[in-house]
Amino acid sequence: MKIETPFERPVGIVGAGLVGAGWAIVFARAGFAVRLFDDDRHVCESAIPWARKQLQALYERGLLKEPPDKIAGRLSLTSSLEEAVAGAAYVQESVFEKLEVKRRLMEALDAIADESVVIGSSSSGIPASDFALDLTISPRVLIAHPVNPPYLVPVVELVPSAQTSPDTVAFAEQLMTNIGQSVVRVKKEVDGFVLNRLQAALLREAWALHRDGIASCEDIDKTVRDGLGWRWSFMGPFETIDLNAAGGIADYAHRLGPLYYKIAQSRIDEGPWDVDLVAQVERDRRERLPASELAKRRDWRDARLMDFAAARFAADES
Amino acid sequence: MKIETPFERPVGIVGAGLVGAGWAIVFARAGFAVRLFDDDRHVCESAIPWARKQLQALYERGLLKEPPDKIAGRLSLTSSLEEAVAGAAYVQESVFEKLEVKRRLMEALDAIADESVVIGSSSSGIPASDFALDLTISPRVLIAHPVNPPYLVPVVELVPSAQTSPDTVAFAEQLMTNIGQSVVRVKKEVDGFVLNRLQAALLREAWALHRDGIASCEDIDKTVRDGLGWRWSFMGPFETIDLNAAGGIADYAHRLGPLYYKIAQSRIDEGPWDVDLVAQVERDRRERLPASELAKRRDWRDARLMDFAAARFAADES
């Protein structure tokens, strides 16, 4: 299998909602011709105008090396799955996160896909073993799970199933690296992969702290955004603690391990987030941000992510 | 009790190692005369030259409103505890994190401190109830736990004991806000307070993922620094998920709650970080960063934190 990024072949995007259209930007920005398809005609037709708007915003923040029109010119709509994947070196699927929907798509791809195509799934929780086994394409399917939006936040988790070939993983890793994503190699399938497992662990403690009256949602958010999140945003948790004890990480584990174990032990009898607790946190959030302002606040978030990306890339390069 | 920041009275810093000297910068930058004391003469004498160096770096990144010399001019060494706290409106103690050491200091302060002084402790894990009960000063003692270095990372956790007066909490909150820190009100004492509990939860999952062969330390770090950490660095975990489902946080809990509970259930039988695991993670980190380069990498971290602070403050103000 050819490992170099095959710019001469297009990329197929199947499922053109927020995630799929976000991926379209990533591939087009890297120089690929991108063919989008979505079962829902309306979703499909909204994708390119939306992508143009995002490209314009990226351009204004200095995050594009080419004019937005040139990049948008690489995007094209197709009216069938066949057309979207014909001749493609890589297909990124971002259809609805439901087992049957993903399985049906894999069967359809199995019937029509070129024998060299690699298929990445944006699945954030369902492993490829659940929907892509025992097909001709199975060795060429893996999870490529992004954070939304993928054209701003670079991480992508690559998770092979037991039937995914090593060549497929190597191809996907090379491709994702070449287009500027930050590849996390998840070696075995596990619920939530790495990213959502880490998020789940932190959220579980956050919900429990709120429930127990230790701190408000806003104060818990502050603890992360004005504290923990600073170092994590450029180092990650292991490097953070490695630098936080004179002798490095083993020294840190020796000093803090007992406290951290005590904290863990205090949470072993937790149940799921219960209905009353969810209602309470929902009220707390809605007091700070009425539901009618969620959309506006998402625009704010995306603008902040762009500023963060611009500052972060400048720092990484200096 | 007077709530306004009493700039006419000095601040006492007891314990002048990295944490204490870091606090000295925060108070001096805000306009306070700061009097430092440390039992260890060598530590005490190193504090001001070290603070001058940090102030110079802050100044070069546009993070100071006054020349560094002017701010450093507010710092003075004292040769006794009495001298450091005489007339002070507020004392920040950052002595060694050991119960007996903190208790002995509280008894000494009880004997000499002015009856209006408020005492904040930098304790990162020991609650004030363990070392500051049943003294005359007890109503005026609380935890004021910073992230290191406090002059860069703004969060401070305020944790009252059962004997801390509401006036003391209000005074500390006002003071910390006035000097530019971001106050997290921890309503009850709990092991690790909020910040280290959140960190503990995430680290626990990180160590387990590494142990189970799911991902390398570096890939786990990447997941946070190139993924989760981006949004957390300006929003925190609750606002992140509130914006991550069409209908807000209750909608998110409905969709993701079951997966997150399944993840939590998979970790209820965990023990402490064991010796072999610590050794394995230590080897992994040392391969990426030899022990001899830890100090240099800490300088890199502090420079990145300064860049982050400069970009973040600019974004917050725009």
Phi/psi of residue A157, each to 5°?
Answer: -90, 125
A227 to B191: CB separation less than 8 angstroms, yes or no: no
Of A194, A227, A239, the CB nearest to B147: A227
- DSSP per position, chain A: ---S--TTS-EEEE--SHHHHHHHHHHHHTT--EEEE-SSHHHHHHHHHHHHHHHHHHHHTT--SS-HHHHHTTEEE-SSHHHHHTT-SEEEE---S-HHHHHHHHHHHHHH--TT-EEEE--SSS-GGGTS-SSTTGGGEEEEEEPSSTTTS-EEEEEE-TT--HHHHHHHHHHHHHTT-EEEE--S--TTTTHHHHHHHHHHHHHHHHHTTSS-HHHHHHHIIIIIHHHHTTT-HHHHHHTSSTT-HHHHHHHHHHHHHHHHHTTTT--SPPHHHHHHHHHHHHHHS-GGGHHHHHHHHHHHHHHHHHHHHHHHH-
For CATH 3.40.50.720, the residue range(s) in chain B are 11-185
From the list A126, A151, A144, A164, the residue with the least C-alpha distance to A14 is A144
**Collapsed DSSP state (helix, strand, coil) of residue B290:** coil
Whether this model's ipTM surpasses 0.85 comes out as yes
Q: Which residues of A are less than 8 Å from B17 in CB distance?
A: none
Would you say B132 and B143 are in contact if contact means Cβ atoms under 8 Å apart?
A: no
Q: What is the pLDDT of residue A88?
A: 96
B228 to A147: CB separation less than 8 angstroms, yes or no: yes
pLDDT in tens, chain A (318 residues): 444 566 789 999 999 999 999 999 999 999 999 999 999 999 989 999 999 999 999 999 899 999 999 999 999 999 999 999 999 999 999 999 999 999 999 999 999 988 899 999 999 989 999 999 999 999 999 999 999 899 999 999 999 999 999 999 999 999 999 999 999 999 999 999 999 999 999 999 999 999 999 999 999 999 999 999 999 999 999 999 999 888 999 999 998 999 999 998 888 877 888 889 899 899 989 999 999 999 999 999 988 999 888 888 888 877
Chain B nearest-CA distance from A88, in A, is 28
From the list B12, B220, B191, the residue with the least C-alpha distance to A155 is B220
Query: How distant, in Å, are the alpha carbons of A186, A234, B2 from that of B209?
Result: 10, 20, 51
Would you say A83 and A14 are in contact if contact means Cβ atoms under 8 Å apart?
A: no
Q: What is the pLDDT of residue B246?
A: 85
For CATH 1.10.1040.10, the residue range(s) in chain A are 195-317
Count interface pairs A-B at CB distance under 8 A.
359
Q: Which residues of A are less than 8 Å from B267 in CB distance?
A: 201
Task: Please tell me which residue of chain B has the smallest CA distance to A190.
Answer: B214
A223 to B155: CB separation less than 8 angstroms, yes or no: yes
Q: Indicate if the pLDDT at residue B20 is higher than 60.
A: yes
Q: What is the mean pLDDT of residues B156-171?
A: 97
- The Cα B266–Cα B262 span in angstroms is 6
Q: Which CATH architecture has domain A195-317?
A: Orthogonal Bundle (1.10)
Would you say A92 and A176 are in contact if contact means Cβ atoms under 8 Å apart?
A: no
Task: Give the CATH class of B196-317.
Answer: mainly alpha
Would you say A289 and A221 are in contact if contact means Cβ atoms under 8 Å apart?
A: no
Q: Which residues of B are less than 8 Å from A191 in CB distance?
A: 259, 262-263, 266
How many C-beta atoms lie closer than 10 Å to residue B275's C-beta? 12
- B11-185 has which CATH code? 3.40.50.720
Residue A134 identity: D
